[in-house]
């Protein structure tokens, strides 16, 4: 029987649809609901592309804004620092490459030449062709800080590698895929790479197309898991709902079974079960809220719920008129006192006079502690009580 949907099988969502063949069918016609984190990521990628194309340090845009989906996103010092790690790496490839080497920024590609079972395309952040070694390097910038993205056997990056080979028409000896993820801790580096032979990329193409064909079946299965996080169908997915329900219906021995039990009433095994699926459940709850908001925005009715304006903040209607009035009324008090520029801005200014910012003047301070699974690469923090007694000695 012919497939019921011809949803695009893009590179950025490849991990999801290769694992969950039914997700393209469930997602067909649904909008991708944006979040503030997604908009910040889009802004960071815009900054990275602009800085690379103009050959400028990303600090040039510090404290400016860029509009994403109707919202003005401010380019912060944290964003500049993260983007700089990526642009510095790409510029190092460009500047150290042999004569005749080529690079592409935000290169769009299409696998149509390979006759895929459905439209398959994507856009790679940066790709570099070393004419001497006949090596492709595909560099992907990850601005998110929630989850460490693994580089080895990453389907998105290998998809990009396949796209680069097809689009540019060169047969490489080796393909290297690189992830730049500055905002997530890794014990080795914020820049990580994996290499493949040309034969391995061809083998991946077969696996990719097999997975793509699986999505075209009417009964393509739904497989919930970590890959569900950004799925447009998350809020309405029956398989994901069953997973959430199975966790919620776990038998807890508590006095009031009609309400969720207090954490201190749970056993260690029960706590482990809840934590194991917490991210999945939270993603689902967030997707449900966004889905209902989108329904209300379209004028559909959801009994008991409505859209309201967020708390209003005051701003100048005409900044020039406000400045004129305040200068007359308050004189210098109308303006905040000068403050020290940020490390990112200082680094940008110092570069102009060829002075390097001393490393000892800058520090990175954690904003606090967060819960993480045992598999997380970061070292465990000592309990507060134990930390209080560090460095003490017995008399």
Model pLDDT for residues 250-305, shown as the tens digit of each residue: 544 444 445 667 777 778 877 887 787 777 677 767 777 777 777 777 888 888 77
Q: Has residue 79 been placed in a domain?
A: yes
On whether both 161 and 271 belong to a single domain, the answer is: no
In a domain, residue 313? The reply is: no
Same domain, 122 and 178: yes
The Cα 219–Cα 227 span in angstroms is 20
pLDDT tens across 296-352, in order? 778 888 887 777 665 555 566 777 776 776 666 556 555 555 556 677 777 777 777
Percent of the chain surpassing pLDDT 70: 75
Are both 173 and 254 inside the same structural domain?
no
Structure tokens at 140: 């992907």
Whether 6 is covered by a domain: the verdict is no
Contact (Cβ atoms closer than 8 angstroms) between residue 28 and residue 119: no
- Is the model more confident about 163 or about 230? 163
Q: For the residues of 356-379, what is the DSSP string, one character each?
A: PPPGGG------------TT-SSP
pLDDT at site 179: 96
- SS3 assignment, position 276: helix
196 beta partners:
175
Classify residue 4: in a domain, yes or no: no
Residue 376 lies in a domain: no
Percent of residues, the chain, with pLDDT higher than 90: 37
Domain boundary residue, one of 184, 214, 244: 214
Are residues 247 and 203 located together in one domain of the fold? no
DSSP 3-state of 181: coil
Rounded distance between C-alpha atoms, residue 18 and residue 214, angstroms: 8
CA gap 297, 307 in Å, rounded: 8
Could you tell me the CATH number of the domain that includes residue 69? Answer: 3.90.320
**At 59, is the secondary structure helix, strand, or coil?**
helix
Least confident residue range of 1-5, 65-69, 141-145, 318-322: 1-5
Look at residues 250, 278, 297 and tell me which one is the last residue of a structural domain: 297
pLDDT exceeds cutoff 60 at 148: yes
Phi-psi category of residue 124: left, alpha or beta, with phi > 0 → left and psi -120 to 50 → alpha: beta
What distance in Å separates the CA atoms of residue 24 and residue 187, rounded to the nearest whole number?
35
199/255 same-domain check: no
Nearest to 67 by CA among 55, 75, 59, 56: 75
Q: Specify if 61 maps to a domain.
A: yes
CA distance 349 to 202: 47
Q: Among 1-10, 51-60, 200-209, which stretch is predicted with the lowest mean pLDDT?
A: 1-10
Both 67 and 111 in one domain: the answer is yes
Which of 249, 281, 297 is the C-terminal boundary of a domain? 297
Backbone angles phi, psi at 118, to 5 degrees: -160, 165
Confidence bin at 73 (pLDDT 50/70/90): very high
Same domain, 178 and 33: yes
Query: Do 167 and 280 have their domain in common?
Result: no
User: How do residues 347-381 score in pLDDT, each as one tens digit?
Assistant: 777 777 787 877 777 776 655 555 566 666 666 66
Q: Are residues 50 and 119 in the same domain?
A: yes
Structure tokens at 66: 């860029």
pLDDT band at 58 (very low <50, low <70, confident <90, very high): very high
- Shared domain check, 136 and 91: yes
Answering whether pTM is above 0.85, one says no
How many domains is the chain built from? 2
> Domain check: are 185 and 287 in the same one?
no
Determine which helix (DSSP H) or strand (DSSP E) holds 123, and give its type and residue range: strand 121-130
The answer as to whether 72 is a domain residue is yes
pLDDT of residue 339: 57
Question: pLDDT band at 22, cuts 50/70/90?
Answer: confident
Query: Using alpha carbons only, how large is the chain's radius of gyration in Å?
Result: 25
Residue 75: inside a domain: yes
- The answer to whether 128 touches 54, Cβ cutoff 8 Å, is no
- What is the C-alpha separation between 25 and 212, in angstroms, rounded? 12
CB 150 within 8 A of CB 6: no
- Please check whether residues 203 and 245 belong to one and the same domain: no
Per the structure, the complete domain to which residue 86 belongs is given by 14-214
51 DSSP assignment? H
pLDDT in tens, 97-107: 999 999 999 99
The confidence band for 142, taking pLDDT boundaries of 50, 70 and 90, is very high
Beta carbons of 297 and 307 less than 8 angstroms apart: yes
């Amino acid at each position: 029987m012919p497939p019921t949907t011809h949803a695009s099988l893009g590179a950025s969502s490849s991990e999801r649809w290769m694992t969950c063949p039914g997700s393209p069918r469930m997602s067909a016609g649904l909008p991708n609901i944006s979040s503030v984190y997604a908009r910040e990521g889009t802004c960071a990628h815009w900054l990275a592309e602009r800085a690379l194309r103009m050959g400028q340090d990303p600090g040039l845009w510090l404290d400016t804004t860029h509009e994403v989906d109707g919202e003005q996103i401010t380019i912060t010092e944290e964003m500049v620092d993260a983007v700089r790690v990526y642009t510095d790496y790409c510029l190092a490839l460009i500047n150290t490459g042999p004569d005749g080497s080529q690079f592409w920024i935000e290169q769009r590609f299409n696998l149509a030449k390979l006759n895929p079972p459905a439209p398959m395309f994507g856009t790679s952040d940066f790709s570099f062709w070393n004419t001497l070694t006949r090596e492709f390097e595909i560099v992907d910038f990850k601005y998110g800080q929630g989850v460490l993205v693994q580089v080895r056997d990453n389907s998105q990056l290998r998809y990009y590698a396949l796209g680069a080979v097809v689009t540019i028409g060169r047969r490489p000896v080796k393909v290297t895929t690189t992830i730049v993820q500055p905002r997530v801790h890794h014990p080795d580096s914020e820049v990580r790479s994996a290499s493949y032979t040309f034969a391995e990329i061809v083998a991946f193409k077969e696996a990719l197309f097999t997975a793509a064909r699986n999505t075209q079946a009417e009964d393509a299965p739904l497989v919930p898991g970590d890959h569900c996080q950004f799925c447009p169908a998350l809020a309405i997915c029956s398989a994901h709902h069953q997973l959430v329900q199975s966790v919620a219906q776990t038998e807890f021995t508590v006095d009031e079974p009609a309400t969720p039990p207090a954490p201190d009433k749970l056993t260690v095994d029960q706590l482990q079960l809840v934590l194991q699926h917490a991210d999945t459940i939270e993603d689902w709850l967030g997707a449900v809220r966004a889905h209902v908001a989108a329904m209300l925005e379209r004028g559909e009715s959801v009994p008991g719920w409505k859209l309201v304006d967020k708390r209003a903040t005051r701003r100048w209607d005409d900044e020039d008129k406000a400045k004129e009035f305040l200068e007359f009324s308050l004189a210098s008090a109308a303006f905040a006192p000068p403050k020290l520029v940020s490390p990112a801005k200082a680094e940008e200014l110092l570069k102009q006079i060829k002075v390097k910012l001393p490393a000892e003047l800058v520090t990175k301070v954690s904003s606090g502690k967060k819960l993480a699974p045992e598999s997380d690469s970061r070292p465990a923090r000592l309990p507060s009580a134990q930390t209080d007694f560090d460095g003490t000695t017995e008399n």
